[in-house]
Chain A
């Protein structure tokens, strides 16, 4: 092997091969990391429609043709979309506990008798072992002692599947 080739091999080992070994180490050590529980996707919700309609903002959910919601997740934060009459709202995941505040859109708030301090609160617990993933929790209205929280059960309908690309 000539001097120049030896130098090339040495440089290659130091600048390419060693970092690649480092990469292998990172990939191995990263296996033990845990990320927040996955909630992203479409969810179907089951609850007592009568009780929900009695809540100040509940009508917005009961009038929806498709009783469900979509979650877009980024780490422990997520955005929940519930029909057209409610603005996309943000929530947070803490372990298996889920919390979100669902706000009515400006136009529909008055009709449904909510808005201002009346905001729907979603609190739930995820069952991480359930397949499909499910949520158990309550929908309640903030600052409304007279309002009875409504229990709900939600099941994720589109499990993470990447078939078609775009």
Chain B
């Protein structure tokens, strides 16, 4: 039964701790969101449950977590809609072949390395209810993701959004996220159809039909939002509510079709009009409540599921270290190699690799799905959360060393298509 006192207490505690830790992280030149992710872990069994089990049991009794989870999931659904909204596939097109290659290598390199790692980890951290293929594909998808929103925030804070490095990083991260989510949808589909006994072709057919309706039907209707915005320089509350309603309906459709709520809201965001001012306007309307209230609840819920004590003994910590190493080598190394190969100077290529290695919040969303569908075990979940925190935390300091502010200001001028495309390969941005 819903205990309002407990729920409100939980929200208050989560908000207070997240704001406090987030502010402290700002002081050490980390984005607030990184601090909030750490705050979530601190509220779980890894810290609060360890040092004050009675307090933890009072504030977060296991029977009450369903409500906290429900609220946090609403937040993630809206957040995924906003992530989709912020992604513009045309950005990649404008960057030419070099960025296409970099983005694809930044997916395949960590993906392949993760699948090799899966051979080692599967007999040690999984069980026979999970097919190897699902396990390996999930590990690949989880390691190849880039946190598009955190990346955008880091670039904005460092005033790098308009630099060549920034524009390529944003374009590559957008492709990575879309690809990562498509792969994840496939894995969820595989696992759920195996468990429910529904034929996979039925779900795939339904999903293709749904995607076609969204892209060729609904997308046209969505343009109306943009034209109303341009006519009135604002959207009414009804229009914003309708937008939210459409995201929720789309989420329900994908859940009903057998994948996950989040895919639907992401897709609805992805097919929204991409005119910059319109996107900024919609983000400004929805972001405050999602970022300040609902996402901290998601961090807390993730923290409550993360038990670092499960990573016990030298052997388990070694697995965790190998996971972080493989994730970093694949993402940072793969992106760096591809961008350097296509003509980016080595230092800038290293900067791009560092940026692409940011996993942040998107990784936590994916890991929670993995734990829900039981494709990863609780110990592996905790290790992967540590990997997400480590790779996100290291981005800002590593970037400061590789591409210091003065270098960004002095040398990294605004990118042009030609600059990026003409490199060692002599690639033509137009593709001809």
Contact = CB atoms under 8 A, between A and B. Distances in A.
A5 B97 CA distance: 9
Contacts of A72: 378
B115 A75 contact: no
* Interface residue tally on B, bucketed by range: 35 or more
Contact of B342 (A11, A22, A165): A11
Contacts of A4: 97, 425-428
B125 A166 contact: no
Interface in A128-166: 128, 160-163, 165-166
Interface stretch (B11-19, B106-114, B345-353): B106-114
Given A74-B379, A161-B195, A27 B136 contact: yes
Nearest to B311: A74
Contact of A31 (B105, B111, B132): B132
Interface stretch (A34-42, A58-66, A110-118): A34-42
A5 B428 contact: yes
A161 B378 CA distance: 16
A162 B197 CA distance: 12
Contacts of A37: 127-128
Interface stretch (B85-93, B240-248, B367-375): B367-375
A13 B116 CA distance: 20
Given A2-B432, A160-B129, A165 B261 contact: yes
Nearest to A32: B132
A8 B379 contact: no
A3 B195 CA distance: 50
A22 B116 CA distance: 9
Contact of B123 (A16, A19, A34, A40): A34
Contact of B119 (A5, A7, A8, A26): A26
A72 B116 CA distance: 26
Interface of B: 69, 73, 97, 101, 104-105, 108-109, 111-112, 115-116, 118-119, 122-130, 132-133, 136-137, 140, 191-192, 195-196, 255, 260-261, 310, 337-338, 341-342, 368-369, 372-374, 377-380, 425-428, 431-432
Interface of A: 2-5, 7-8, 11-12, 15-16, 19-20, 22-23, 26-27, 29-31, 33-40, 72-77, 79, 128, 160-163, 165-166
A31 B73 contact: no
Given A22-B112, A166-B73, A16 B105 contact: yes
B373 A15 contact: no
B347 to A, nearest CB: 20
